[in-house]
Amino acid sequence: MTNKRKIETPLQRQNRHKAMECVAVLDKLKNDFDIKLDAMGYFYDLCEKVYIKKESIYSKSIKIGTLCLQVPSEIIYALDAVPIRLCNGFHTDDEIGSDFATSKACPLVKATIGEFNSGNFTDKPDIVVSPTTCDQKSKSGAIIESFGYEVYDMEFPRTKESEEAREYWRRSVRRFAKDISLVLNKKLKRGKLKEAIKKVGYAQYLYHQLNELRKEDNPPINGNDMFLLTNAFFFDNIDNWTKAVEKVLEEAKTKLDNNIKKNSVRVVYTGSPPIFPNLKIPMIIEQSDGIIVADETCSSNRMFNDMVSVDEWFLYDMVDSVADRYLKGCTCPIFTKNSDRIRRIIDLVKSHRAEGIVYQAFAGCQVYEMEQRSVLEAMEKEGIPILYLESDYSPSHLGQLTTRVEAFIESLKNRRRKKV
Amino acid sequence: MNKIKKLINYMDLRKVRFWIQIFFFILFVYGTYLFVDLGRNLPIFSCGYNRASGGNCYFLALQHQLARPWWRLFSYASVGVLTGFLTFLAWFVIFNKAWCGYACPIGTLQDWITSFRKMLKIPYSTYTVEQYRFLKKMKYVFLFIVIIFPLMLGLGLLDGEWRGAFCKMCPGRLITPLFSGDFSQWTIDFSNATAIFLTSFGIGFTVLFFIGSFVKKRFFCFYCPMSAMHYIFSDWALLKLKKDGDKCTKCGDCYNVCDMQIKDIADDVKSKNILRDDCIFCMKCVAACPEDDALHVDILNMKIFSSTKGGFSKRMEIIKDDK
């Protein structure tokens, strides 16, 4: 009579599916690539711990969930809370979220909504901060609120050139600092904020150091590992993260003298952010003998690229300077003009000696889709080959996508031969 | 060579600048005591009314020279005017506007007032874009007074009361002598209406100078006719502030630290020569730039101080030293 078949609850099913997605990607990361770093083990383990074993990272701290990279983590750290960026890459959650947004919506947004709807977090956020960046993200804040979460909307301008936009955003950040400190019942202190700015600055510094190594003939770290590493910054304890990256950096430096000549095609990845475990496109690129030497995405480069500079180390100047970092240098396609993004891509191609660009837009992400033409045109003018792909979180078009990427990489190799 | 380069690029600009400014302040304010006299054609507000001055502001001489009758101004008797101008140019060409950011005693004094404000933990103010656009024109109005008024005097269009008009209005005349214990400039000249106007304007402007530079970084420099004069000749200068727009991410770090609120420094990615008329060449922007070589200071196309990621991180105390 105990032989009765157990029926899986939706929660168990979700966990099982997510674990499966996770394992599939982690296995590939561990086994499929020639470039290997032992120090990356920390990050593989971390993903396993968080997504499969469901072990919480923060037991005591107050967790502030963020829906976009524009929420200033410096201020959150200064208030003794921790930021957890909840941009989600699970197909399982995407399917749950589909019920709440149109099926044509961005999979990242849907997946994030899905996770909130299931309430199945490893580290459940106490407050959710939603910057009004793109349309879908702005609206998702309200949907998430309807599930019973406390959502704080943070107003974000859609232009960044004007002084008005800068002031508007600065006010937004000042108010955020004030409101959050009221909610947490903690006063924002000068010393604490300074320390937080330095801490995040050091994380950025390490990222840049690592990026510098990718300029070498034999990049000691592949793009997928890099995406995983930057992804971990979303949720990992910042001190542990920096320690782990220091180790990766150290090991990567020793791999530089390694004489194995690889002929992988150097690629810059741009567009919709690959967020673990959705490393679909980067994975295809690197399995097709390409190597991602740089990227222009909000899950990696954009999160670390621009650093805070402070003139007068007092709260008034620090908070404003922190605000500037999240607006002025941002290359997000939601802004009216995109010349900065184009310039960033060209700069990355040149400095990392890339041979081509892969531009992915999530099906449903209007801004990346709409910006596609202008980027393609600019790259054509520069003579840089570029492949534009549209895809989502589903594994269904894998064959077709692989064929296109392989053909693109092959054509870049041909181009290389012709040049020689 | 590379070591020296790194040493310079990683330097703590704040400290270096602080000591250079003290050196020049003593040199120009107390030069006479040190037996230094660098002439009277200097491109800074080192006022000639200060008896201890180690070299004088060119405008005192210039106004005097241009005020001579026109028939004499355009005769061989005015070779001196020309050599004076060439001496001024020679001084200027070496350091460009770095005279403002590093050597001008009036500039240094404003930076000290700023430090005082910082000690009191009072936030600074900034101008809005509209105010800024309007106010930055004022320095050309003053330059007009410096150059055209004496010429009109020479033509007989203005009375002798307008002689050295700008000096009478300039806070430099009232402030610099204070340092050698001379308070005699703080008077209103009641001899005629013009003198009353000019000298009371001077006192008013000086009071405003102290209040203004407490509230706003480098308050006076927006109005400085010397700054305007510099800009006219800055293309010929040896020292240049340059930008490599391709490397710029427009993050605005440079703009954020700029005392003169020059937005172009962050937003202009086309100009190679990024020096603007308000610039005081303090190089804070270069120190605050986190992109390698995006901003750099050149002498004859040789980079002597460049923005670097490492240098930025060190100055921000993010790292101790580059590994």
Q: What's the pLDDT tens digit per position in B132-174?
A: 999 989 999 999 999 999 999 999 898 888 999 999 999 999 9
Residues B248 and B217 both lie in one domain? no
The answer to whether residue B1 is domain-embedded is no
Average the pLDDT over B310-314 and give the result. Answer: 94
* A34 Cβ contact list (under 8 Å, min separation 6): A262
- pLDDT (0 to 100) of residue A256: 85
Average the pLDDT over A264-287 and give the result. Answer: 95
- pLDDT (0 to 100) of residue A2: 63
Average the pLDDT over A303-329 and give the result. Answer: 94
- pLDDT (0 to 100) of residue B323: 53
Residue among B128, B289, B318 whose CB faces A201 most closely: B318
- CB of A350 within 8 Å of a chain B CB? The answer is yes
Average the pLDDT over A197-211 and give the result. Answer: 96
Alpha-carbon distances of B56 from A91, B51, B66, B96, rounded to whole Å: 75, 10, 17, 17
Residues B157 and B64 both lie in one domain? yes
The answer to whether residue B176 is domain-embedded is yes
Q: In this complex, how many residue pairs, one in chain A and one in chain B, have their CB atoms less than 8 Å apart?
A: 87
- CB of A13 within 8 Å of a chain B CB? The answer is no
The answer to whether residue A166 is domain-embedded is yes
Q: What does chain A come to in residues?
A: 420
Please state, rounded to an integer, the average pLDDT across all residues of chain A. 94
B205-231 residue pLDDT tens: 999 999 999 999 999 999 999 999 999
Predicted model pTM: 0.93
- CB of B313 within 8 Å of a chain A CB? The answer is yes
Shortest Cα distance from B252 to chain A (angstroms)?
Answer: 6
The answer to whether residue A5 is domain-embedded is no
A352-383 residue pLDDT tens: 999 999 999 999 999 999 999 999 999 999 99
- pLDDT (0 to 100) of residue A261: 62
Residues of B in contact with A307 (CB under 8 A): 251, 253, 290, 312-313, 316
pLDDT at A419 over 90: no
**Domain boundary pick from B181, B196, B230:** B230
**Domain boundary pick from B169, B197, B230:** B230
Average the pLDDT over A53-66 and give the result. Answer: 93
The answer to whether residue B6 is domain-embedded is no
% of chain A at pLDDT higher than 90: 90
Shortest Cα distance from B121 to chain A (angstroms)?
Answer: 7
CB contact under 8 A, A343 and B309: no
Residue among A205, A310, A331 whose CB faces B319 most closely: A205
Residues B226 and B144 both lie in one domain? yes
Residues of B in contact with A306 (CB under 8 A): 249, 251, 253, 290
Average the pLDDT over A38-63 and give the result. Answer: 94
The answer to whether residue A121 is domain-embedded is yes
CB contact under 8 A, A307 and B251: yes
The answer to whether residue A73 is domain-embedded is yes
Task: Return the C-alpha torsion angle A341, A343, A347, A348, nearest 10.
Answer: 20
The answer to whether residue B7 is domain-embedded is no
- pLDDT (0 to 100) of residue A296: 96
The amino acid occupying position A27 is D
Shortest Cα distance from A64 to chain B (angstroms)?
Answer: 25
**Number of domains chain B is built from:** 2
CB contact under 8 A, A311 and B250: no
- pLDDT (0 to 100) of residue A259: 60
Determine the Cα–Cα distance for residues B9 and B322; give it in Å rounded to an integer. Answer: 12
Residue among A305, A309, A347 whose CB faces B256 most closely: A309
Among A386, A389, A368, residue whose Cα is nearest residue A376: A386
Please state, rounded to an integer, the average pLDDT across all residues of chain B. 93
- CB of B175 within 8 Å of a chain A CB? The answer is no
- CB of A346 within 8 Å of a chain B CB? The answer is yes
Among B61, B45, B41, B59, residue whose Cα is nearest residue B99: B45
The answer to whether residue A28 is domain-embedded is yes
Average the pLDDT over A169-192 and give the result. Answer: 96
**Domain boundary pick from B164, B198, B230:** B230
Range of the domain at A189: 10-419
**Number of domains chain A is built from:** 1
- CB of A321 within 8 Å of a chain B CB? The answer is yes
The answer to whether residue A3 is domain-embedded is no
Residues of B in contact with A208 (CB under 8 A): 309
CB contact under 8 A, B249 and A344: yes
Residue A266: Cβ within 10 Å count? 21
**Cα A153 off chain centre by:** 21
Cβ atoms of A252 and A229 closer than 8 Å = no
User: Mutate which of A209, A311, A347 to disrupt the B interface (most B C-beta within 10 Å)?
Assistant: A311
pLDDT at A1 over 80: no
Question: What interface predicted TM-score (ipTM) does this complex get?
Answer: 0.90
A71-110 residue pLDDT tens: 999 999 999 999 999 999 999 999 999 999 888 899 999 9
- Tell me which residues of chain B, numbers 276 to 295, contact chain A at a CB-CB cutoff of 8 Å: 284, 288-290
Residues B316 and B293 both lie in one domain? yes
Residues B169 and B130 both lie in one domain? yes
pLDDT at A258 over 90: no
Residues B254 and B196 both lie in one domain? no
- CB of A309 within 8 Å of a chain B CB? The answer is yes
The answer to whether residue B4 is domain-embedded is no
Range of the domain at B143: 13-230
Residues B258 and B226 both lie in one domain? no
The amino acid occupying position A143 is I
Residues of A in contact with B248 (CB under 8 A): 343
- CB of B39 within 8 Å of a chain A CB? The answer is no
B179-191 residue pLDDT tens: 989 999 999 999 9
* B136 Cβ contact list (under 8 Å, min separation 6): B222, B277, B278
Plot region of A409 (φ>0 → left; ψ -120 to 50 → alpha; else → beta): alpha
- CB of B252 within 8 Å of a chain A CB? The answer is yes
- CB of B263 within 8 Å of a chain A CB? The answer is yes
Cβ atoms of B115 and A314 closer than 8 Å = no
- pLDDT (0 to 100) of residue A257: 75
pLDDT at A260 over 70: no
Residues B69 and B151 both lie in one domain? yes
CB contact under 8 A, A309 and B257: yes
